[in-house]
Structure 1
Amino acid sequence: MPRLSSGFVPKKAHRKSRGGCLRCKTKKVKCDEIQPTCGYCSTRKLSCEYPQNSSSASRSPSSTSSPNQDSEEVNFNDALMQIPTWLVPPAFASSGQLSPLDHDLLHHYRSSSWEIFAIREDAAVHTIHRDFVPQASLSHPYLLHAILSIAASHSNMLRPSKQMERQTLVYRQKTFQGYTKALQNITAENYESILVTGMFLSALIPPPGLEDSDEEHLQWLYSVLKTNEGLTFLASLRWGQGIEKLSVYPLFCRELRTLPPPPPPTVHSSVEDPNLCTLVGRIGTTPDHPNPPPTYQRRSTPSTPLFLPPRLMVVLESLVSPTTTGPIDMHRNALVPVFQALSPIFLSLYYYHLNQDFRVRIFVLTSFLMPDFLDLVKTREPRALTLTAWWFALAGLFPRGWWIGSRVTRVVEAIGRVVRSKGDAQTVEAIKGAEKIVETLESVGREEAARSVFEDWDGMDWDDGPRRAGEWEFEQLLDLSV
């Protein structure tokens, strides 16, 4: 029997390779598809070439850059990395099979984008955003397209791409189409998904560029407020009938803690006028406990003066003071409730600084805005714009909120120019407070910007707020022990 040469390699049983190198295809052997040299060619020290259009060839560790090559390390946790389609297992939603891009953006939302909306450092809130929402989206196309649009927009912000920019618009259009249809048939099964989608809609409104006109920024601001009006209506469907029992309720609660009453001294003695307090209350007072009744132990509390910066208090007094001569201000009923909704925000900021309760109250302020007030914003009424500027400036103190970003400055600047051209002296003075917050935020930071709110507020020491809150909480504990 002839002796085998050293170059001879026994041929093993095989099946035909469909994505192998050209040599293995010619030899009709199964290729292990390792690149740049497969096992067959490597053993025989032969040149190895793959078809240029081969999309199924696998990569081996030897195909990555060697220590002597200049190449970035591959990060498989990067949602922007293009994963070969053959590595992505098929997944299906109610809208059909997810594409590889859908997979990538869904992963990007779960790993990064959801954190932008988690205004509370709470495990339940994190679980809802990170786990519940993506899972629920597979059964509700409008919610799926909403979070895919958000993830695409966030991804495009991190790494600009024309493709991702276009895809953001595609997902956004599908969101509004599906959402509009779902609103026509709200059921117990889809209510939570509709509610969460409504919360995301304001982030889907295309923001203007920083170089765009004041009018475009004001129109965008109005669109954001108008979108939240629909969310308020949706929440009202269950607000008094057990909304706190929903899985997503932690995203919609209006307060995290009961606030102490305003500290003495009050800013203006006229605020303590019983007639003025009665008038303000009759117009529509913000409830002492904004959350649904079952979430707290109801206690009767005496009426307390509103807690507002001096500049805003002057504007409020001009609206409701009984000594004002002439006809009653025609916009009073639309404006006063917004002053009242702002009051606990300033209380929370003073007593507990930039805590989570403050963030929640900022986030839900739009749920207190009535259609009449939104109409005033649309028509550029100076006082309505000034109140909106204060809210927007305070929202800039959020550590998150990428869809707003530097537009806080542009919106407040745009409002300031309108107020100075159309408003009276009191309103022009009031807008300066919002502008000061934004200027301090840009030049120094959030903590100093928050402190600046109380700098011209007689008797309100920023550092003294937490001490006063602690004393009040201690008194409450003593009352409970009696």
Structure 2
Amino acid sequence: MPAAGEISWVLETPGSAAASAHSRSLYNETGARKRRQHQKSRKGCIQCKQRRVKCDEVRPTCGHCVERKWECEFPTTATRRKGPALSPVSSVSEKHPSGSQSPTPDPTGLEVGSRVWKHTQLLSCLEKLNVPRQAPGDHSAYQRQDALELMDHFEDTLEPWLGSPVAQSMIQEHGIQIGLKAPYLLHALLAYSASHLSRLHPEQPKYSEAAKTHFTRSLQAYSTELVYELERGNANALLSASGILAKLS
């Protein structure tokens, strides 16, 4: 498998052999579209199942619940209940408050590519890119810290949006990490995530503000990179960013 920086998720262009093979795989012999398959975890916590995101199944508290300071509940020790998708569980048979977990390891000891490592690197990168702690405006709702939520949503959403499931899986897994070295791609990914969240939660203005902020910064950085630093090493990141910016335009 190629290294993360060399991965191309944009090679399945229309008319190519890969695209033709992929297109054939989406339909059965009768011409009906096949239902796309994806792996589901039956052992994840209830909070992750309610949010429809992938759970790392770490017990007693999974990574998502640790990061969001939620009480983590696994279906093997508690009864499932219907309720708001993002509400912490108030009464369960076995609860593990994330506050009881050991302190977050020192950033220098984090595993490269892990969710916590990406969080640390993302905030550091945005600070170096002079992204203000709070967007311009006296009543701005979007803050730099909210970029962590945008990153999580981008990597965890199961909704198909790229066209190719294989390409989408690749960019969700490696996009943010590559974007840390390619600001135009990083801002494009965050803008797309914010735009999607804005459609899901129109009552929260911070998402539309975040989409505008990151889209503008991505477009500016993309234009500069395209004019002055176009080379083989950044071709994949540039092409990926252009596709995402086109979807947002």
Q: Which TM bucket (shorter chain)?
A: 0.3 to 0.5
Structure number with the bigger relative contact order (C-alpha 8 A, sep ≥ 6) is: 2
Provide TM-score, normalisation by structure 1. Answer: 0.24
Provide TM-score, normalisation by structure 2. Answer: 0.44
Greater Cα radius of gyration, structure 1 or 2: 1
